[in-house]
Amino acid sequence: MKTSALSIKIDPKVKKGAQKVADELGFSLSAIINASLKNLMRSKTISYSILESSPMLKRAIRSARRDRVQGKSYGPFSLEDSIAFLKSK
């Protein structure tokens, strides 16, 4: 297989962390990047999985739960109620 060098700027902490994870999974960072680029070419999409909620999402969820407990939440739960709610605004 012919190879070509790719030079990119990356945060050193990100590189070190990514290399560690790749090693733990039994891959080289080069193999991971190659697979990602091949997937990009094949699917013409980029997808990432976020396993941990962001701090902002966690705050929003806590706030929504507080509102629900305090009876401040409202919402239409059927299609008809949803349409009526949207028309009322």
From CA 80, how far away is CA 84, in angstroms rounded?
6
Q: Where are the domains of the chain?
A: 12-43, 55-88
Residue 6: is its pLDDT beyond 80? yes
How does the average pLDDT of the chain come out, rounded? 90
Whether 59 has a pLDDT exceeding 90, the answer reads yes
DSSP 15-29: HHHHHHHHHHHT--H
pLDDT of residue 29: 95
Region 30-42: mean pLDDT is 95
Structure tokens at 51: 């396993």
Question: What confidence score (pLDDT) does residue 71 get?
Answer: 84
* pTM for the whole structure: 0.53
Nearest to 10 by CA among 27, 33, 31, 28: 33
Q: Among all chains, which residue has been given the structure tokens 């050193």?
A: 12
- Whether 61 contacts 53, CB under 8 Å: yes
Q: Are the CB atoms for 76 and 85 separated by under 8 Å?
A: yes
Check pLDDT > 70 for residue 62: yes
Residue with the larger pLDDT of the pair 74 and 33: 33
